[in-house]
Amino acid sequence: MEPYQRRNRHFEDLVARRGLIWMGQNTNHLPTHPDVKRAMIAAIEDEDYHAYAPPTGLEELRRLILADFGVDDADVLITDGAIEGLYHACRHLIRPGQRMIATDPGWPWPEAFSRLSGAEVVALPIYRPEQDYKLSAEQLAGAVEEGGAGLIYLIDPLNPLGVGYSADEIAAFARIAREADAWLIHDCTYRHFAHDHTLAYRLYPEKTITTYSFSKWLGLAGLRVGGLMARPALIEMLSEGQPNSLGSNLVSQKGAIAGLRTKGEWFPEVNRIQRANQASIHDAVAPINGLDMPVYPSNGNFVVIDTGAAGIAPETLCELYLERGIMIRQAAYQSKLFADRFVKVSTTVPTEDADRFCEMLPDVVRAALDGIGRNRALY
Ligand SMILES: Cc1ncc(COP(=O)(O)O)c(C=O)c1O
């Protein structure tokens, strides 16, 4: 089997597994508002899908996204999930030989897309307590000074660590990007879960592209709808050679519209539940020797558990949880430099599912320690 076939088989098995608790992809698994389902069912019943959607996306959806951002001088390009917008931006905006600056840990795909464009990817190490597990302005400025930057990719809040950036930090990043005349992609996929959030677009509107996702707060990951927000002139430029120039899924767009219309009614409760789940996980991790939660509370709908001091390989923890019906993610997916240090656990699941994760933790850690022949006190 080729590696891609193995990867696919792995995910095929996961999606076929009834009752699996999904705590590895940061998608919302809490029940969907009935209006969202009704809108999508109506679109199917009415057979809306015979026509292509408008190439930039349904106007109401674009208006609602702008309103959700609280921005009125930009526009939105609807894409097949934020990832397709990222692909397009990374292929369109960077030239061979330019540098793309990202972080390690981070989220790997925009780096892969930039490499396809011939860019040199520089992933700055940030898994360090002395810099609060986040990118610092000095670090970014140093990297830009050293070799320039064509594109800066900033994930905020950061998947996987859950750190977010203050207004001052965003202002510093925007200043550095402007001085370098670099594109700034502000990946705001997890913005809805943040305790506080500042849009770089407001400070550097001319070259900032902001992502929007419906996979996380609304939980439409399998329906592939998202967007890019930028100045209209930049959207015009991105509309050239746009991969989804035949429009995005109409059914998904109607579900997304209903989600945005009703968000105020139900989303605060989702965030309350996921933050309470974070707290339960924190309480379960704290007494266990060798485990630690470096960032708490998290600004995302996920937390990271450091397993380094326990000497437990993240993969082992993931396998043991999967055997017990819970999917979590190993660091290697999101880090080259710190791949042996942590697992990521998503928190937008029902309280009882997060509680099961917590109840299993001592057993899973014990089994992992037994597996490497370590016989030491758990607490
Ligand atoms: C940082 C980041 N950006 C983008 C995405 C993809 O979003 P979408 O599902 O809207 O394509 C993810 C999904 O995990 C993500 O973590």
pLDDT in tens, 52-86: 999 999 999 999 999 999 999 999 999 999 999 99
- What spacing in Å lies between the alpha carbon of 83 and ligand 1's midpoint? 6
How far is residue 240's CA from residue 58's CA, in Å, rounded to a whole number? 18
User: Among the atoms of ligand 1, which is closest to the Cα of residue 26?
Assistant: 14
How far is residue 107's CA from residue 212's CA, in Å, rounded to a whole number? 15
Query: What phi and psi, each to the nearest 5 degrees, are found at residue 345?
Result: -130, 125
How would residue 9 be classed by pLDDT, with cut points 50, 70 and 90? very high
The tens digit of pLDDT for each residue in 44-53 reads 999 999 999 9
In the chain, residues under CATH classification 3.40.640.10 are 34-262
Mutate to test the pocket of ligand 1, among 187, 215, 220, 244 (most ligand atoms within 8 A of CB): 215
The amino acid that residue 136 corresponds to is S
Cβ(67)–Cβ(264) below 8 Å: no
Name the token pair of 357. Answer: 């994760």
Tell me the residue length of the chain: 379
The tens digit of pLDDT for each residue in 126-169 reads 999 999 999 999 999 999 999 999 999 999 999 999 999 999 99
Mean pLDDT of 346-374: 94
- What spacing in Å lies between the alpha carbon of 178 and ligand 1's midpoint? 25
- What spacing in Å lies between the alpha carbon of 372 and ligand 1's midpoint? 34
- Provide the CATH topology of domain 34-262: Aspartate Aminotransferase; domain 2 (3.40.640)
- Provide the CATH topology of domain 3-32+263-371: Aspartate Aminotransferase, domain 1 (3.90.1150)
User: In this model, does residue 375 exceed pLDDT 70?
Assistant: no
User: Among the atoms of ligand 1, which is closest to the Cα of residue 83?
Assistant: 11
- What spacing in Å lies between the alpha carbon of 129 and ligand 1's midpoint? 25
Mutate to test the pocket of ligand 1, among 109, 213, 214, 248 (most ligand atoms within 8 A of CB): 213
What does pLDDT average to over the chain?
Answer: 97
Cβ(166)–Cβ(374) below 8 Å: no
- What spacing in Å lies between the alpha carbon of 128 and ligand 1's midpoint? 24
User: In this model, does residue 371 exceed pLDDT 90?
Assistant: no
Tell me the HSE value of 342 on the side-chain side, using a 13 A CA sphere.
Answer: 28
> What are the contacts of 112-118 at 24+ separation with CB within 8 A?
113/86, 113/87, 114/90, 114/151, 114/153, 116/90, 116/91, 117/90, 117/91, 118/94
pLDDT at residue 374 in the model? 74
In the chain, residues under CATH classification 3.90.1150.10 are 3-32+263-371
Where b means 16+ CB within 10 Å and e means fewer, 303-340 reads bbbbbbebebbbebbbbbbbeeebbbbbbeebbeebbb
Minimum CA distance residue for ligand 1 atom 7:
82
Name the token pair of 112. Answer: 């892969």
Name the token pair of 293. Answer: 């939660």
- Work out the angle at residue 104's Cα, subtended by the Cα atoms of residues 101 and 108, and round it to the nearest 5 degrees: 75
Task: Give the pocket of ligand 1 (CB within 6 Å).
Answer: 26, 81-83, 107, 155, 159, 187, 189, 213, 215, 221, 226
Percent of the chain surpassing pLDDT 90:
97
How far is residue 161's CA from residue 127's CA, in Å, rounded to a whole number? 8
The amino acid that residue 42 corresponds to is A
User: Among the atoms of ligand 1, which is closest to the Cα of residue 86?
Assistant: 4
pLDDT at residue 372 in the model? 81
How far is residue 101's CA from residue 119's CA, in Å, rounded to a whole number? 10
Mean pLDDT of 321-346: 97
pLDDT at residue 373 in the model? 75
How far is residue 249's CA from residue 55's CA, in Å, rounded to a whole number? 11
pLDDT at residue 378 in the model? 81
The tens digit of pLDDT for each residue in 207-251 reads 999 999 999 999 999 999 999 999 999 999 999 899 999 999 999
- Output the CA–CA distances (angstroms, integers) from residue 272 to 193, 277, 348, 376, in the order listed: 10, 9, 10, 36
Find where tokens 């986040």 sit. 134
User: In this model, does residue 254 exceed pLDDT 70?
Assistant: yes
pLDDT at residue 362 in the model? 96
Mean pLDDT of 249-270: 98
How far is residue 78's CA from residue 348's CA, in Å, rounded to a whole number? 24
Minimum CA distance residue for ligand 1 atom 3:
189
pLDDT at residue 376 in the model? 72
- What spacing in Å lies between the alpha carbon of 283 and ligand 1's midpoint? 28
Mean pLDDT of 113-125: 98
- What spacing in Å lies between the alpha carbon of 374 and ligand 1's midpoint? 37
